Amino acid sequence: MIKLQLIIVGKLKENFIILGVQEYLKRINRYAELTVVPVKEERITKGAPEALIKEKEGERILKKIPENGFWVALDRMGREMDSRQHFDFLKVHQEKGTKKMAYIIGGPLGLSGEVLNRAPMVLSLSRMTLNHEMSSLVLLEQLYRYLNFAAGEKYHK
């Protein structure tokens, strides 16, 4: 089974999101190893160039990406997939023998150009803007949906 990582800029703050993330982590870890890797969020100050803030966060992100793994950057302008396409994507990586897979979620300003350009895949969860907390919860639900389905269980509908 693929070892999964969720690399996320910033901390989860909303209690309902924290509870949801904890619940999906518990569910997912029945099927696969998933770790959440926090990345320090750069402080956004008045007059600070957004590109510089994203660049600093991007440098931190790139240090956390697993070697010999496949990583997916999340961005609203990335490739959209429905759940079935995402299932197929994960299945192909399992069959190819991918050992590690990381999903990267940026902070309030998104991901740096370098992270997006170096990512083997850029995925959109929605054309709508989702904050990093909500993106984490939606992504974890989709990962759980796939793992449950792959195990032949009944969550997937």
Q: What does pTM read for this prediction? A: 0.92
Whether pLDDT at 70 is above 70: yes
Domain harbouring 139, CATH code: 3.40.1280.10
Q: Domain of residue 19: give its range.
A: 3-42+50-150
Question: Residue 114: CB partners within 8 Å, gap ≥ 6?
Answer: 55, 58, 62
- What pLDDT, on the 0 to 100 scale, is given for residue 157? 62
In a domain, 155, yes or no: no
Q: Measure the CA–CA gap between 97 and 21, rounded to whole angstroms.
A: 27
Region 69-93 average pLDDT: 94
In a domain, residue 19? The reply is: yes
Decide if 140 is inside a domain.
yes
Number of domains within the chain: 1
Percent of the chain with pLDDT over 70: 99
84 has a pLDDT exceeding 70? yes
Task: Give domain status of residue 82, yes or no.
Answer: yes
pLDDT digits (tens, 9 = 90+) for 100-155: 999 999 999 999 999 999 999 999 999 888 899 999 999 999 999 999 988 999 87
In angstroms, the CA 121 to CA 138 distance is 18
CB-based burial label for 42 (10 Å; 0-12, 13-18, 19+): buried
Mean pLDDT taken over the chain: 93
Q: What is the CA radius of gyration of the chain?
A: 15
Q: Quickly state the pLDDT bin for 48 (edges 50, 70, 90).
A: confident
Helix (H) or strand (E) holding 34: strand 34-39
Kindly report the number of other CB atoms within 10 A of residue 8's CB atom.
26
CA 9 to chain centre: 10
pLDDT of residue 2: 79
What is the 3-state secondary structure of 77-104? EEEECCHHHHHHHHHHHHHHCCCEEEEE
